[in-house]
Chains A and B, each alone.
Chain A
């Protein structure tokens, strides 16, 4: 290709401000972080070259090990759950109905508000006498009623479907018309049983689960690398809540391209909705799934805001992530900053992220071939 000299000059003039910023705040910054990671720089004295010592020390530092464990568990658990939930929700909502725009906007609301606002709201709900413990208490108390309701739904539905089939009508197990009848019947039935006093809500003391100021883990007493601290679990719940809608909409966009005839053909063969989900839905949105998985892994591995906003509301060890570890070593309050050490942590995080992305790329490529 021929280049015009005039074009080249103009292009670099157009790019000048951007390239300047890119050089200082990206290129120079990256190189300097790599350099610092091999030194003992502390913001005040001149840096001395220490070779790989910072990297070796990382794996001896209890806070880093906690951060590594928390970040990896956070990324795996959150990515798995939110991808699955997003896909299930998208396939439930993959319908041509009026007013879907309103609902899409509603689902997206948590994603447009700032992380500070959402985290503060969740922090408030995670208080000992907050909404989470209150709802848990309500559900526990109402468990007999809920179970009764579900039992009646199943019994009525099965009976009704059997009867329709005996009339040789092609009713499926999840037939919507019959399901509506079953739900109504269960509502009335449960109400009658509750009024006559056969079943009733249990009288339980309020739930006093401590979400924040605790060092306890889930599951309790599990080995270090497999135990999720409870404050971290609280952040997981919040993160899933805010990101699921975004991913759901991405799946929804992918699902609209799947021809309806696939599902019709499958149901002619007698495949149940669950079988259809696994045999048609999941394979046909595979490209979107890889995109979602990659974005989710990058986002979760770099989780920072929630830890910073939780602040002293929970013990540091129980929620620190790699990203926050770097910040914490750079600005350790009253102690001397360990810039070299922080830089080593940052480079480790970058390499980890890069590895995950590359592995997923390779998977996509082998999938395509």
Chain B
């Protein structure tokens, strides 16, 4: 299929009208292009599919819902406008909602009631429910339950209906309306959870915003937040990622801290890599000196030794603050009397050695003609001047590419942060932090938060890739990707 489709050209096609034969050929070409696009589309779906599916599922209340469905309440415009309305009623915040003093939140819920059954209003409770498991479950927090008062339920609509979900059973749809009011003074709470439980024989059909969960065969409808605001509703898991996991002491959002750490780490790693690699690359490409070949061989060799061989000693070097003499650690000199484990500085030390970057810069400098330096040489400029003011400015494209590749490497780096940054949680970078998420929430099957965190942490690199595709794809033909 890849080529000409096993086509042979017998001589006896001459009996055909040449124009008819041309048309026949053109048809084949069109069909072939169509098939190629179809195959490429299929491959694209296979390779982007999991990421896309995870991104879409990350807004679901339960991403492990079975069978997985793409009919997601969070994607229905009806719920968007309703959640904005409810957020405004709850705390005057159409985006993130909440429950503030003086709020009166109007709510409607519709049940299917079987024929012959008395229509009794369901019971509405504001539960003292904590969000999720893990750190969110131990933080001191304010409960909407302590301030909320549920008003009387009134029937606003009754409408005969033939079917509930299970089949054709006569009955009627009954819509109840009620309000939840904030009584007295108090703090603004982030959420207003609701549990609505009806009598046996009644099943939930619909409500102002779609219920987060149904229990007891549809009798009980649970709402994570009855005053969510539009972002609080659609991106609930994303809001949880930032809000729910905080340090017990300072109540800092851990996810924000991790993002900050990752950016700081990436920034300094880029600076260090650009400087070291361009200096070493310049010397190896432009200067003739004893030991040049040996050093270059060492650079190539350094790329081949597995990290597992190096990390044993490097871990100890960080622990000892480079060297420890009679209990005095050398790293005390730059402010680390207890060694450099669990610090971004230590992480920068062990990741600074980047033989691949040296190799790239050496290759690039070799491609710059020597003549450009000669004018400077005649002026008697020092090697440093020639490097800093003549060659380096010409290396902007290579430095740009190296910046992007280094950012991606630092942002995604797993092994070294995993070894060096183990505690406290506030010291971690994003990938290692996500692993904490997995350990906390994966066990209880709360995947919404994990997926939301994963999608957020993938975003910067994906944006970078979309903008600077060329650099990434050139890297492939140059050295191949790393696992």
Contacts and interface: CB of A to CB of B under 8 A. Distances in A.
29 contacts: A7-B383, A15-B295, A17-B279, A18-B276, A18-B279, A19-B295, A22-B353, A25-B349, A25-B353, A29-B310, A93-B43, A108-B465, A108-B469, A108-B476, A113-B51, A114-B457, A116-B431, A116-B454, A117-B458, A121-B451, A127-B447, A134-B67, A175-B28, A178-B31, A267-B5, A304-B307, A311-B438, A327-B308, A345-B308
Given A170-B9, A267-B7, A15 B483 contact: no
Interface string B26-60: 01101111111101110110011011011001000
Nearest to A299: B483
Interface string A334-369: 000001001101110110011001000000000000
A215 B302 CA distance: 37
A140 interface: no
A112 B304 CA distance: 22
Given A4-B288, A97-B33, A116-B414, A339 B312 contact: yes
B340 to A, nearest CB: 12
Nearest to A247: B480
Given A241-B47, A273-B1, A29 B6 contact: no
Q: Which 3 A-B pairs have the closest CB atoms?
A: A114-B412, A172-B6, A29-B313
A305 B414 contact: yes
Contact of B483 (A21, A106, A305, A353): A305
A330 interface: yes
Contact of A107 (B5, B37, B47): B47
Interface residues of B, number: 117
Contacts of B47: 106-107, 109-110, 241, 245
Contacts of A15: 279-280, 283-284, 295
B279 A346 contact: no
B5 A109 contact: no
A24 B322 contact: yes
Interface string A292-328: 1001001110111100110111000000001100110
A272 B1 CA distance: 9
A29 B438 contact: no
Given A107-B43, A121-B454, A303-B483, 17 more contacts: A19-B295, A29-B314, A93-B40, A110-B51, A112-B462, A113-B412, A124-B57, A134-B68, A170-B10, A177-B32, A180-B35, A250-B476, A276-B3, A305-B415, A309-B438, A323-B306, A346-B312
B434 A116 contact: yes
Interface of B: 1-10, 12-13, 15-16, 24, 27-28, 30-37, 39-41, 43-44, 47-48, 50-51, 53-54, 57, 63-64, 66-68, 275-277, 279-280, 282-284, 287-290, 292, 295, 298, 302, 304-317, 322, 349-350, 352-353, 358, 382-384, 387, 408, 411-412, 414-415, 418-419, 431, 434-435, 438-439, 442-443, 445, 447, 450-451, 454-455, 457-458, 461-462, 465-466, 469, 472-473, 476-477, 480-483
Contacts of B50: 110, 118, 121-122, 125, 131, 241
A32 B313 contact: yes
Contacts of A281: 2
Given A93-B40, A114-B412, A311 B439 contact: yes
Interface of A: 1-4, 7-8, 10-12, 14-15, 17-19, 21-22, 24-26, 28-30, 32-33, 36, 43, 89, 91-95, 97, 99-101, 103-118, 120-125, 127, 129-131, 134, 168-180, 206, 239, 241-243, 245-247, 249-250, 253, 263-264, 266-268, 270-273, 276-277, 281, 291-292, 295, 298-300, 302-305, 308-309, 311-313, 322-323, 326-327, 330, 339, 342-343, 345-347, 349-350, 353-354, 357
Contact of B3 (A3, A36, A273, A327): A273
A176 B438 contact: no
A55 B128 CA distance: 58
Contacts of A312: 439, 443
Contacts of A116: 412, 414, 431, 434-435, 454, 457
Nearest to B483: A299
A7 B288 contact: yes
B66 A134 contact: yes
Nearest to B408: A112
Given A33-B312, A313-B442, A350-B309, A180 B31 contact: yes
B470 to A, nearest CB: 10
A15 B275 CA distance: 11
A109 B434 contact: no
A30 B47 CA distance: 38
B309 A347 contact: yes
State the main secondary structure of chain A at its contact with B. Answer: helix
A113 B304 contact: no
Contacts of A2: 288
B9 A268 contact: yes
Contacts of B447: 124, 127
B397 to A, nearest CB: 20
B182 to A, nearest CB: 38
Contacts of A178: 31
A249 B473 contact: yes
Contact of B1 (A29, A176, A247, A295): A176
A95 B35 CA distance: 11
Contact of A124 (B310, B383, B443, B450): B450
Contacts of B57: 124
A19 to B, nearest CB: 7
Contact of B481 (A24, A99, A111, A327): A111
A6 to B, nearest CB: 8
A41 to B, nearest CB: 9
Contacts of A106: 43-44, 47-48
A277 B466 CA distance: 33
B483 A113 contact: no
B478 to A, nearest CB: 10
A180 to B, nearest CB: 5
Nearest to B434: A116
Point out which of B280, B312, B450 has the most chain A C-beta atoms below 10 A from its C-beta: B312
